[in-house]
Structure 1
């Protein structure tokens, strides 16, 4: 478990301290993957370095499994770090050592016997799907395979916490998905607390349970992934599942009404279109859609086209289904017609 309480980090600057992290509060529970996102320079990597105290916080506390690392002596900290595995953006493998030798390095430094070390390395390489690559050198492995060796090495000392700092950066989409699947399997099997630093928003949907967005060193958003994806106010949700920005222009002159319909609730039924069409009493067409299932719930948006003369009735029917409609091509005449209809319904 990772607990950050009022974490602050300053670096010296020409005119005084420069604050990189400002009053950060975060918790990563056992069995949870927390993705930290934000623009370059927001403080994401510094956050990861503060968790294992490669960078000492200026103030605040870093607790891992209940121990405040910032209060430990250097000797105690070295021991505590064994419970924290780290996966780096560059795999960090030693080029003159084989995959097996790279995985076994932490065990060698601790003086683990050759027999025990070989058994543990074989177990780990098998766990990450590289049992047949034990004697390969890094240059003989693909980028994804090298990252898997790095993951195996991070697990060598049986950590309870895993830090992943841009571990999928530079990998192709298929390899990235294989790495995120592996991380989720390890999280489930080993009950790990995983802090996943990334700037790749698509990866967040595949891997995260919770998301924290950092802006200028502060937490700007923090919550369960599915909650952010269904919140119309969430910048994380907008970035993860966003509508084509040109769509309003494409259908601006349509004789029909055009709406973006977002999934605003976790229990939207899959046949909502049939129910809304029946209640609305008119044909509804689908123009575009991006809908996916995250943690068992549908999230995303659908662009629909329908009769503009009954806009209020359509929007009411959509909201009953837990959907959030937004008109994309409403003109002055449409708005006037909508007000007339609304007045008629109210009376």
Structure 2
């Protein structure tokens, strides 16, 4: 049992991540705003539709659920809604008396964030909520900012979300949960492929050395070969699962399973290169030659993997994936702390589970070769 604790841990982490990742709700937000444009100096009523919202608030304490809304133009600059009419938990109308000027006298147009707050949902933001165009700028910045500062959001006025939620990321919506499977499988695949490459190097370092192993006992050199094949097999499995989950995600966010995005294309090439590893091994009946050439090819495949998956997509400015054109794949806008409580554990879980599968594959291969 002491030697198997990490196997149990892998199962616990994966099950925990699946349960929490699928059951924790998304943070409330707006999925529809109409209209999204208005004229300065006019009164405008905006109809909004929420997602996972409770605009009516706590029915046991209606006063606690009073809904507020603002148009935010910048730090310390926001316009409070003059009237908020709640239709139901998901629908509301927000009325704003737009000032005659934008807070920036030089701006011709500005996109204002819509901030909604109540104690039941907490505060949430639609970053591209409403746009206004300025025809005649104010004579001074102080004059332009005055109405925006008069109703600005005060410290402590916004409520925190009362329970754990995952972030709402626009068109991703509920598919953001696939981060715990698609992305984590790629990370685990990399760790498993690294292990396979390490054992390939170990095999080549031991090649040509005289073996003093007893007959019927697997040699250290053969152990390295068996482990290399086992880890590479699991890595290939994770890669295929990552490709499949990515295609499913693409269908719901990009409109098609396969769009020949640069990262889709380079990942497919990388997996085809690794598929060549198994074809190569199957082509040589001699165990010594098969193991030696397979180890060399395994190292070559891993060297190709890094630029294909991590470098080339970042150099491309046309990728739909996060991280293109040198942008970091995960930042504060992509993953918050609540997602990290699931994302990091499932990476560890998939990695440990992959090592467990590799250990089983290794033992099967040893038995198949007729050794103990």
- TM-score normalised per structure 1: 0.29
Name the structure where helix makes up a greater proportion of residues.
2
Name the structure where strand makes up a greater proportion of residues.
1
Question: Is the radius of gyration larger for structure 1 or structure 2?
Answer: 2
